[in-house]
Structure 1
């Protein structure tokens, strides 16, 4: 192991993913949490694979199979490795395994989510509790790593003038959509819009709605129609993303139960959180475990059609910070070995 690096210089952290926001933000959020604990420089690499090879098993993929538009995550021509490699998602797995087996000077390799690979192929795996993963080099956290902290979102609302005039309580509504486990048909979206609108209007408040790329167009139309008479803003996907601003401006957060990322991000604001029901497409024990954990710890409650949130709201969930502290502890021991 190379110990010649100046320990007083910033850590070099490489974040590797396929670039999709929900995937990249897990690795980037963990890297930023490390950066808050110790001076660090972060570079972000997007990895993709040529269409012919994209669905091939990760174990047989080779670097030359990458999409030419991918970033060069692996160093070449004798360039140094980063100190810490943090990756998320299927696309990153072949390169993470290669980085972990690169020999002297290699990085400390961290994989988030359940890699569905031998966990001992990595130096550390940061996995959600609801995945049920275990091992000597596994840290289990409630939900997934992410970028949300009260300090990070503070002031984000000031970038959007429209938010300052919205009546309170301001309710951030985070809508997911169709996935392997959940669906959002138009009739269900219409019922959600009706119930949300009725509750918000009864409270004299307003909505701030953001939709997912997974939100079906017919569900989006039903939501827009159902909330048309409610004060607020439904973001149309144009211009700067107001997601952080909505969380900053919100007095309460409603989030659909289909997204582990959005649910844990909402819980990390310290604001009252209610979980909106979705249509289950199949049994969903992992989501059930996450939902039950959030409720049991007082971080959320099921949406009951009211804005009466007395008794909920808690200390912000800070699992990403906990994972970052443990990552640094293990990195320091690994480097000293």
Structure 2
């Protein structure tokens, strides 16, 4: 018997769900963003395979101590209706869960699993990845936890730390070393120069780092902005108090962002504010293709030494991804019901 979704809901009520990651923040952002858009309240399942199983992922089996039949396994019974995973170390666990549940668990993987389309019932990838197929949802940007409602609230009741900054307000979003992309001392000088330029031109500056931002970059920026911060013309989040990341994006009239993170640039596109990408030292073909795609979509331009005026419709792939997953889940449910 099919269980129908409530009017306006993407999925039936009462479904159980897991999010499976190895704890990486970027992967959890994807999974919990998808789960929230689907209306799910998932249990968090962390996998920490030991060597050599961690070395073999995504191609090998799960760590034997984590086999589904073993007590204490992160993927032991009762199995969920839906499991959402991301990160190469989770691929063997998602496949093992699918098998152990007798195929009952509907599986979703975010990013290319490097095991082909059979790695999950649905795979969601950014368009710059090559994987395609009937069960693959490809979107320009990646899923995240930001929402239009959250942005509207941040604009209606601005964070007190940001509300008094001069307008127009410029967001500076900083990443850090990632794969083949590095942040060097020269990059730090460039970022400090841009920050100084913003306040010198009379803009209010809102600056937030990520967990990957090197300390020497922050020291350089704090020194460059010390006078502007005392004068109330710049705000630099130092990790104290609530993270204002979403509020900064919501209030930004323009965004300057380092070009190392597909996630961060994609989240910035939720704002509808012009995105200026500062490419750091190094090169990763996938990231370059993604930035090229954002430029082609009219949402971003590479930093040329000044702010540019342009506009675009805010880009948010998360609802699109959620609808695609829900459609496939209903088809999966119908097929299982017909076979019963």
TM over 0.5: yes
2:123 is paired with a residue whose SS is: strand
Q: Deviations over 1:179-225 (max 9, x none)?
A: 222111122211222123213431x2221111122222222222222
CA–CA separation in structure 1 for the residues paired with 2:182 and 2:242: 27
Q: Tell me what 1:20 maps to.
A: 24
Relative to structure 1, is the Cα distance of residues 52 and 285 closer, same or farther in structure 2, using a 3 angstrom cutoff?
A: closer
Q: Tell me what 2:288 maps to.
A: 288
CA–CA separation in structure 2 for the residues paired with 1:165 and 1:85: 44
Q: How does 1:1-337 map to 2 (within 5 A)?
A: 3=1, 9-35=13-39, 40-50=40-50, 53-58=53-58, 59-62=60-63, 64-65=65-66, 73-76=74-77, 79=78, 81-104=79-102, 106-156=104-154, 158=157, 160-202=159-201, 204-230=202-228, 231-280=233-282, 282=283, 284-309=284-309, 312-337=310-335
Relative to structure 1, is the Cα distance of residues 121 and 257 closer, same or farther in structure 2, using a 3 angstrom cutoff?
A: same
CA–CA separation in structure 2 for the residues paired with 1:63 and 1:244: 40
Structure 1, gaps ≥5 residues long: none
RMSD of equivalent CA atoms? 2.4
CA–CA separation in structure 2 for the residues paired with 1:42 and 1:103: 17
CA–CA separation in structure 2 for the residues paired with 1:51 and 1:101: 23
2:128 is paired with a residue whose SS is: helix
Relative to structure 1, is the Cα distance of residues 128 and 23 closer, same or farther in structure 2, using a 3 angstrom cutoff?
A: same
CA–CA separation in structure 2 for the residues paired with 1:305 and 1:251: 17
TM-score (normalised: structure 2)? 0.85
Relative to structure 1, is the Cα distance of residues 30 and 315 closer, same or farther in structure 2, using a 3 angstrom cutoff?
A: same
2:305 is paired with a residue whose SS is: coil
Q: Deviations over 1:160-180 (max 9, x none)?
A: 421111111111111111122
CA–CA separation in structure 1 for the residues paired with 2:46 and 2:101: 24
Relative to structure 1, is the Cα distance of residues 6 and 332 closer, same or farther in structure 2, using a 3 angstrom cutoff?
A: closer
User: 1:149–1:269: 8 Å Cα contact kept in structure 2?
Assistant: no
User: 1:300–1:313: 8 Å Cα contact kept in structure 2?
Assistant: no
Query: What count of residue pairs does the alignment treat as equivalent?
Result: 319
User: 1:169–1:206: 8 Å Cα contact kept in structure 2?
Assistant: yes
User: 1:172–1:208: 8 Å Cα contact kept in structure 2?
Assistant: yes
TM-score (normalised: structure 1)? 0.86
CA–CA separation in structure 1 for the residues paired with 2:263 and 2:131: 18
In the TM superposition, residue 5 of structure 1 has moved relative to its aligned partner by: 6.0
